[in-house]
Amino acid sequence: MPRKFKTTVVIPPQNDVDLHANDVNFVAIAENGKLVGFNLLVGGSLSIKHGNKKTYARQASEFGYLLLEHMLAVAAEAIFTTQRNWGNRTDRKNAKTKYTLERVWVDVFRAKVEKRAGIRFAPILPYHFTGRGDRIGWVKGIDNYWHLTLFIKNSRLLDYPWHPLKTGMAEIAKIHQGDFHLTANQNLIVASIAESEKVKIEALAREHRLIDDSASDQSKNSMTCVSFPTYPLAMVEAERFLPAFVTQVEGLLHQHGIGDEQHCAAHITGCPNGCGRALLEELWLVVKAVGRYNLYLGGNHEGTRIPCMYRENINEEETLKEIDYLVSRWARESHANEGFSNFTLRAGIVRPIVNTAQDF
Ligand code: SF4
């Protein structure tokens, strides 16, 4: 393949794997509680390069609806081989499926996939998303087992003085008979818990503060990429900078009278490669140089809208001043139940990104 090729399977109404960040995406469609097929979306990707106008974030295009039996053997393979043959192999920064689609056009790519696979896509079936985060807490599966999703603040499972999270997980692992899953939102699921074990697992999780009822929505909806120390080309801290940043944003929300039921989902990344999937977020802070940031606004809670650059190359103090200004306007001028990013678009603070190749 010319570049990495990322795939998701998404079960509405949760867009918890961010389909618009990935090359090929299967959105599950059920009838009477039974999986019958998938809507196929192709060509999403978020990574950009500072100062390179030929790079841009792009939402995945809706190709059509597929029956279950056509998913892997037919459609996925045909998309894979079409991108293999048509992807740009001379310029690595222009090699992903999103650029192939923009170069040859979506209809041409889709027609090639249909020809290779020997199928015709049916029109997309209705689907909608209500959020892109994890369902924190208990969920009962159709197999009658319980699953406990733990919010791991800042994605760091460590032993802190009053939060012995790592020890807590080790204690749970000693008695848990099921699985552990890491989520795409940097949280952790203790999965497949029998009804008889539920009370014991919850008690251990609470004892070690793995369940923290006081965690705010602002905190639960903020995320960073790993940046330092794992990524050698990163310029600054992102992951370890997040808690202080969230505290400052929470302070501004309270100062301007925004209630706990509202938040401004924020992601920070150490560079614009998009690992933290920030380019779908209400507020994205990306490092431009040491101590300097670009501030983007306009994504949404469902992960279906690309944000737009609002300020370029500002320092931390200027960034907080801008957020202060924006939150104060949101508090004063928003309509009832209007979220932060919907407000910034309606008020004309940023414009919507419609055609990412030209607008971004
Ligand atoms: S977004 Fe950049 S700094 Fe962050 S993990 Fe990815 S490549 Fe590293």
Shared-domain flag, residues 168 and 245:
no
CATH number of domain containing 197: 3.90.480.10
Residue 271: what pLDDT? 86
Domain's final residue, options 151, 172, 207: 207
Do 175 and 251 lie in one domain? The reply is no
Ligand 1 midpoint to CA 235 (Å): 9
Q: Where are the beta strands (DSSP E) in 68-214?
A: 137-140, 146-150, 159-160, 163-164, 179-182, 188-193
Residues 250 and 335 in one domain: yes
**Domain holding 25: CATH number?**
3.30.413.10
299 lines ligand 1 (CB under 6 A): no
Inside any domain, residue 87:
yes
Last residue of a domain, one of 117, 147, 162: 117
> Quick check: is 246 in a domain?
yes
Same domain, 18 and 53: yes
Distance 196 CA to ligand 1 centre (A): 42
Integer Cα distance of 222 and 52 in angstroms? 27
Q: Let me know whether 252 and 178 are in one domain.
A: no
Of the candidates 32, 44, 61, 52, the residue with the CA atom closest to the CA atom of residue 8: 44
Residues 110 and 230 reside in one and the same domain: no
The answer, yes or no, to whether any atom of ligand 1 lies below 6 A from the CB of 234, is yes
Phi, psi of 338 (to 5 degrees): -85, 120
Ligand 1 near 269 CB (within 6 A): yes
Supply the DSSP symbol for 196.
G
pTM for this prediction: 0.90
- 274: alpha, beta or left? (left if phi > 0; alpha if psi -120 to 50): left
Q: Do 306 and 188 share a structural domain?
A: no
Quick check: is 345 in a domain? Answer: yes
Q: What CA–CA distance (Å, rounded) separates 269 from 283?
A: 11
Closest ligand 1 atom, residue 231 Cα: 8
224 CB under 6 A from ligand 1? no
Alpha carbons 131 and 235: distance in angstroms, whole number? 31
Classify strands 146-150 and 159-160 as parallel, antiparallel or unpaired: unpaired
Helices (H) and strands (E) in the chain — how many of each? 10, 15
Q: Is 301 contained in some domain?
A: yes
Question: 239 with 313, same domain?
Answer: yes
Residue 177 sits in which domain range?
137-207
128 part of a folded domain: no
Same domain, 47 and 77: yes
Cα 85 to averaged position of ligand 1 atoms, centre (Å)? 29
Atom of ligand 1 nearest to the CA of 235: 3
**Long-range contacts, 82-91 (Cβ 8 Å, 24+):** 82/109, 82/112, 82/113, 82/116, 83/1, 83/2, 83/5, 83/23, 84/1, 84/2, 86/112, 87/1, 87/2, 87/3, 88/2, 89/2
pLDDT in single tens digits along all 360 residues of the chain: 999 999 999 999 999 999 999 999 999 999 998 999 999 999 999 999 888 888 999 999 999 999 999 988 788 899 999 999 999 999 999 999 999 999 999 999 999 999 999 999 999 999 999 999 999 999 999 899 999 999 998 888 999 998 999 999 999 999 999 999 999 999 999 999 999 999 999 999 999 999 999 999 999 999 998 887 777 777 777 877 888 899 999 999 999 999 888 999 899 888 888 888 888 989 998 888 888 999 999 999 999 999 999 999 999 899 999 999 999 999 999 999 999 999 999 999 998 887 666 666
**How many whole angstroms separate alpha carbon 274 and alpha carbon 122?**
32
Per the structure, how many domains does the chain have?
Answer: 3
Do 232 and 334 lie in one domain? The reply is yes
In a shared domain, residues 245 and 149: no
Q: Does 104 reside within a domain? A: yes
Q: Is 235 in the pocket of ligand 1 (CB under 6 A)?
A: no
Structural domain includes residue 58: yes
Q: Is residue 277 assigned to a domain?
A: yes
Q: Same domain for 142 and 94?
A: no
